[in-house]
């Protein structure tokens, strides 16, 4: 992995290919490369580092051609070297390949090909594909050789392939790794995701597993591995070009933090009707089924896993449904106990997270109903789920998730209202209060953003601290986890999130005058007084207390060194309000340290391999 873009046109594509790669940078990568066909030969340039750094050395825009491939690599097989950067070629320099995914049987294939005389230049699994196609090309047409080669490949792949002797054709294939086709005027594209080509087209075709596409500048065909032609639907993406640009903000992350009031409003739009929750046609779970649910299992990774923990609290507390939250990477290898009265929910911003896709497929083997909560229309997870709820956050370019997280929380909240109403676990007044509460959130989030100067002040005071502790209770324990994750991701400062009461079982030993401790302490009827006690324990050990508290809370102010206030709302909505100051705190600390906020080291936006 990490990103692919390809173009075939009736004119020079170098700028479009370069811009497409630039739009893929948010996915995270360590090296980059491009390939064009000119006069029946490949022109290839590649190197280690960011796109602009490598461009200064090799000048990608000197490459010319009406067809080309680009790739940004996040290393899996082989070190971060120029030799291992994509594209890779065969022995005769006639086949050029870029690849996302992992070829699980590459070692056996490499041994077999080496015995047949093939010479390998890199340490990657990708290069095997170029040689495997070459081996099958003898006596066969290009399409036949490609199909024969891919039938021998085990594992995941998204492939862009050029043949020097086919200068007007761009080939693509996928299996368990995302790849799309974009349709333009006198030009067509392949790409890992929509934002990379959104400046040129919003007409998208989604490739399915074990499909091969052949693109020319004026059309495309798709086949399965047996050569059977597949009819494909063209989807229109309604994201604007501007939504994938910074629009005057210093970083995408900051822009996306500030977009959250709008993102929440869009997520709620037309879904609340006369005190009822109505989702779109993609959500077709019947009231009868929802009444009979005896258990919910949520699978997710990273930030989405933290959203799932908030969902668990709401489903159990309000809808009275036993709920379990599983790391998708663990669930997929367990023998889960699922039955027809279990609903499995998958949460993913991109809809392409490999472990979450695998977990969802595993769940479906048991015949259970599956529901995905996702931000990207037409993504892999949405295509394999029985039902879907979209979050409507718009493109999220920054690697550290912000608006996708809060819109996931909003969807889980709406789903809780729906379940509670159908199952009659809440009365009409309680339902009405919940709906009124969520309707306030967009404006309340704006008021939190208006406190950014105070958050910046905290960042400037403590950006040089080496460790931080985040504490929360109840529905805000997952917010402590998410706040700590944000700081780790973008600033590279060690931070841990804990339930506040668990501080006594180890972390308290770390607290001293150099330790910032962020405590999420909204006023509630559940644990508020206990959290005040936890703050006192931190204070007694000299910890630097930064508290998130409800407007007007004087008790927290007496105890904390810094207080960032959030508006008063229902306790179940405090998590959406409390995370925004923590996102801003992480952002400002990272920016103060000079980090690459939108592209943190070693991280990828969409983790499409195990």
Q: Which residue in 210, 369, 403, 605 is the catalytic one? A: 605
**Which two tokens mark 348?**
């993913």
Helices 403-422 and 302-317, packing angle to 10 deg: 20
Give the ranges where 450-540 is alpha helix by DSSP (H): 452-462, 477-491, 528-540
User: If you search the block for the tokens 């693109």, which residue do you land on?
Assistant: 215
Spatial distance between the Cα atoms of 297 and 344, rounded to a whole number of angstroms: 5
**Which two tokens mark 487?**
């700081």
Number of Cβ within a 10 Å radius of residue 365: 9
Pair 155, 101: CB distance under 8 Å: yes
| SS3 at position 540 | helix
Pair 261, 443: CB distance under 8 Å: yes
The residues near 509 (Cβ < 8 Å, ≥ 6 apart) are: none
The residues near 508 (Cβ < 8 Å, ≥ 6 apart) are: 537, 541
> Which of 582, 580, 272 minimizes the C-alpha distance to 448?
580
Spatial distance between the Cα atoms of 8 and 168, rounded to a whole number of angstroms: 7
Strands 562-566, 88-89: pairing kind: unpaired
**Which two tokens mark 268?**
């709620």
| SS3 at position 582 | helix
Q: Which residue in 2, 35, 301, 458 is the catalytic one? A: 2
The neighbouring-strand residues paired with 183 are 188
Give the ranges where 507-598 is alpha helix by DSSP (H): 528-540, 554-559, 574-592
Q: Is there a catalytic annotation at residue 374?
A: no
Pair 168, 188: CB distance under 8 Å: no
The neighbouring-strand residues paired with 497 are 470
Number of Cβ within a 10 Å radius of residue 472: 31
**Which two tokens mark 186?**
């006198």
The neighbouring-strand residues paired with 468 are 495
Q: Is there a catalytic annotation at residue 2?
A: yes
Q: Which residues are catalytic?
A: 2, 605
């Amino acid at each position: 992995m990490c990103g692919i873009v390809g173009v075939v046109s009736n004119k020079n594509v170098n700028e479009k290919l370069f811009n497409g790669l630039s739009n893929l940078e948010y996915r995270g990568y360590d090296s980059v490369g491009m390939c064009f066909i000119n006069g029946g030969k490949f022109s290839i340039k590649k190197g280690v580092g960011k796109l602009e750094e490598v461009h200064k050395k090799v000048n990608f825009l000197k490459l010319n051609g009406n067809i080309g491939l680009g790739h940004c690599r996040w290393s899996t097989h082989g070190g971060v070297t120029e030799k291992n950067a994509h594209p890779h070629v065969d022995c005769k320099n006639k086949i050029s390949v870029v690849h996302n995914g992992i070829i699980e049987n590459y070692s056996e294939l490499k041994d077999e090909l080496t015995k047949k005389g093939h010479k390998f230049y890199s340490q990657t699994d990708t290069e095997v594909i170029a040689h495997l196609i070459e081996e099958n090309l003898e006596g066969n047409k290009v399409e036949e050789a490609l199909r024969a080669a891919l039938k021998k490949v085990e594992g995941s792949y998204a492939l862009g392939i050029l043949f020097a002797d086919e200068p007007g054709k761009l080939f693509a294939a996928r299996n368990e790794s995302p790849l799309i086709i974009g349709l333009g005027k006198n030009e067509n594209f392949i790409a890992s995701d929509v934002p990379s080509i959104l400046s040129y087209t919003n007409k998208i075709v989604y490739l399915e597993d074990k499909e091969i596409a052949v693109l020319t500048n004026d059309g495309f065909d798709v086949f399965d591995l047996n050569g059977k032609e597949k009819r494909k639907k063209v989807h229109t993406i309604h994201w604007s070009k501007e939504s994938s640009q910074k629009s005057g903000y210093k970083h995408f992350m900051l822009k996306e933090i500030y977009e959250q009031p709008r993102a929440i409003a869009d997520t709620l739009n037309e879904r609340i009707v006369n005190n009822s929750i109505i989702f779109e046609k993609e959500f077709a779970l019947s009231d009868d089924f929802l009444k009979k649910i005896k258990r919910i299992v949520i699978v997710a990774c990273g930030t989405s896993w933290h959203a799932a923990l908030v969902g668990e609290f709401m489903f159990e507390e309000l809808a009275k449904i036993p709920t379990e939250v599983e790391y998708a990477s663990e669930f997929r290898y367990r023998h889960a106990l699922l039955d027809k009265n279990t609903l499995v929910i998958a949460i993913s911003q991109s809809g392409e997270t490999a472990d979450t896709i695998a977990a969802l497929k595993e769940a479906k083997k048991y015949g259970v109903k599956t529901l995905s909560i996702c931000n990207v229309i037409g993504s892999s997870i949405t295509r394999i789920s029985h039902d879907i709820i979209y979050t409507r956050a718009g493109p999220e370019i920054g690697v550290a998730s912000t608006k996708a997280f809060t819109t996931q929380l909003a969807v889980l909240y709406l789903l809780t209202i729906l379940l509670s109403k159908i199952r009659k676990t809440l009365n009409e007044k309680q339902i009405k209060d919940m709906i009124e509460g969520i309707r306030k959130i967009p404006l309340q989030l704006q008021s939190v953003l208006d406190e950014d100067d105070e958050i910046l002040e905290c960042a400037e005071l403590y950006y040089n601290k080496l460790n931080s502790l985040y504490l929360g209770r109840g529905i805000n324990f997952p917010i402590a986890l998410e706040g700590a994750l944000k700081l780790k991701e973008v600033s590279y400062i060690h931070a841990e999130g804990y339930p506040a009461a668990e501080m006594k079982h180890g972390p308290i030993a770390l607290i001293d005058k150099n330790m910032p401790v962020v405590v999420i302490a909204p006023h509630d009827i559940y644990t508020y007084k206990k959290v005040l006690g936890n703050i006192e324990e931190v204070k007694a050990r000299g910890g630097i207390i930064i508290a998130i508290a409800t407007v007007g809370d004087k008790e927290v102010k007496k105890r904390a060194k810094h207080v960032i206030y959030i508006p008063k709302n229902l306790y179940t909505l405090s998590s959406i309000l409390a995370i925004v100051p923590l996102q801003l705190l992480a952002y400002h600390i990272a920016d103060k340290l000079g980090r690459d906020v939108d592209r943190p080291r070693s991280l990828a936006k969409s983790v499409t391999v195990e």
